[in-house]
Copies of this chain bind each other. A is one copy, B any other.
Amino acid sequence: MDRRQEIFHTALEIFIAHGYDNTPLSRIAKALGFTKANLYHYFQSKEELLYQIHYNYLEKNFIPILDQAERCSEPKKRISRFMRDFTKVLTNDAAARILIHEVGRLKPEHYQQIIQIWQRGFNIVRDAVSEMQAKGEGRKINKNFAAFAAVGMCCWTFYWFDYQRKESEEELADTYIKLFFEGFQSDSKESNSSEKRI
């Protein structure tokens, strides 16, 4: 592991364990056997460290998923690939939780850059929903809301998942994917647009 990666790894572990606010840079330096001055050689501020960790996390864990999904020409496969891989990343550890939790701490230019990457996931689902609708393969519901539902159920995982029980991740991803597609593709009541509200 190179030095920067070692810093990312250690700092993220400490953020997960103690929270961002409760972690002074001196604690991270100490855990690494660095002086605080050593650490400032790599990062100018705690904000910059948080940004670099977040970007590094996305580069390693999220961007490959996006790229992989985008390679699926079939829209249904694109969504399910993304939902499965994304759920599995979120069941790996609490990193995404702490990073999303603290995203508001980033400077505006860093925030924008990070948020745009997360939004690529949403866009993949929304556009694939739209493609399926155009081909008559999906119900004519609001494509943004449908995409938020799919991404939201995956994302929410990081609020409750027990990382000790990682063996359930495939079943969890299966449940989300099945619920979403049965819901989106079911045509049993589609024709009845004045369907009574339940």
Number of copies: 2
Asked if A153 and B157 make an inter-chain contact with CB atoms under 8 angstroms apart, the answer reads no
Q: Name the residue on B nearest A100 (C-beta).
A: B159
In the complex, what's the smallest C-beta–C-beta distance from A105 to chain B, in angstroms? Answer: 9
Binds B, one of A25-33, A37-45, A144-152: A144-152
Number of interface residues of A (CB under 8 A): 43
Q: Is A4 an interface residue (CB 8 A)?
A: no
Which residue among A146, A151, A153, A180 has the maximum number of chain B CB atoms within 10 Å of its CB?
A153
Segment from A50-58, A61-69, A106-114, A167-175 that makes contact with B? A167-175
Residues on B with beta carbons closer than 8 Å to the beta carbon of A101: 101
- Please indicate the chain B residues that have their CB under 8 angstroms from the CB of A149 in the complex: 153, 175-176, 179
Question: What separation, in Å, do the CA atoms of A146 and B156 have in the docked complex?
Answer: 12
On whether the beta carbons of B181 and A180 are closer than 8 Å, the reply is: no
